[in-house]
Amino acid sequence: DPLRRVWRASQLVLAVWAAARAHTALGGHDTVAACRFPAALGCAGVAAVVFSLVLTALDGGIRATCAHVPLRRAWRGLFARTLAPVAVHGLAGLMMAVLWRSPYGPVAALLVLLPMGASWWAYAQYDRERAAHRATIRALVQAVDIKDGYTRGHSERVGQATMMIARELGMDDERVEVLRFAGILHDVGKLGVPTRLLRKDGPLTPEERRVIELHPEYGHEMVRGISFLGEARAAILHHHERLDGSGYPYGLSGDRIPECARVVAVADAFDAMTSSRSYRRARPVPDALRELRRCAGAQFDPRMVTALARALARHGWHPAVTADDDRTPAPAPPGTRTPARSPQ
């Protein structure tokens, strides 16, 4: 965090310096001093563009260098997202500067602070709302982890893998965040499944399996009223559908399965294979990718599998939680069968 704060402050210093040089070179100081508002507006507009260009260049550069984002996507959309708020707040600042030098004096200039204060209040409300969203998701995930100890940490890792796939597919940051929520909450419906079934060590009966296969519908019902989740709700409902139509709960096939659900399905299967369980060892990442490729086209969307493979080749796999407990499961004796588990 300290290094990130230094970087952000340095970005702003460089952007302000470049914008000020551009504004001065165009005679912006004189136009403001003389209260020539149309001319001052042009100089300020150029300064805002320069400011946004510098921030965009630095933001895209750090994404391409440190986050290994492809160059074709590192700067995509950054300039527009940077320029919009700068233009709005820059106009307010320009109005204050012109009014300050006008016959109306500083008192009139201070009136500009009222809409700026309203803007700050609205942003603070938005920030508090996002914090509440995160707290809601965290509480739901903790409840699932407590109920199903076999998959502790699974939700967070699926969210991480989902985010990697979404970014590799070139989705914008807002949609990447929604899909991360989908990955984190994909198993929230297990809260509606009896605990004895989730923790059963032996094979499941057909009736028990049917009960467990209701968890996507339970999950969808639980989050249906949470508006900020957007398309994540469809991913929660359909992440066990298969391309060939043999999945559940509705047996959808091909493009009828929402794209977000196809992303989560690959991330879910990948983490299930690469995480240790009490009844089996984790598979190495290359083995898990081979299995995903083998099932691509029938069970998984090949496009999502390819995107995950590319993301892993670029970033590696370094989840915050790598196993469900600290014990390494002992190999099963020859001729024995590992106990079946509930479907992921």
Q: Which residues are catalytic?
A: 190
Residue 33 Cα distances to 36, 57, 140, angstroms = 8, 32, 57
C-alpha–C-alpha distance, residues 207 and 237, integer Å: 20
Residue 163: Cβ-neighbour burial (10 angstroms; 0-12, 13-18, 19+) = buried
Under 8 Å between Cβ of 76 and 59: no
C-alpha–C-alpha distance, residues 179 and 51, integer Å: 31
Strand partners, 300: 296
Question: Which one, of 278, 298, 288, lies nearest residue 161 by Cα?
Answer: 288
C-alpha–C-alpha distance, residues 27 and 292, integer Å: 61
Q: Which two tokens stand for residue 48?
A: 């805002």
Alpha helix ranges (H) inside the chain: 2-25, 28-33, 37-66, 71-74, 78-101, 105-110, 113-147, 154-168, 173-185, 195-198, 206-212, 215-223, 232-238, 259-274, 285-295, 302-315
Q: Which two tokens stand for residue 72?
A: 């074709």
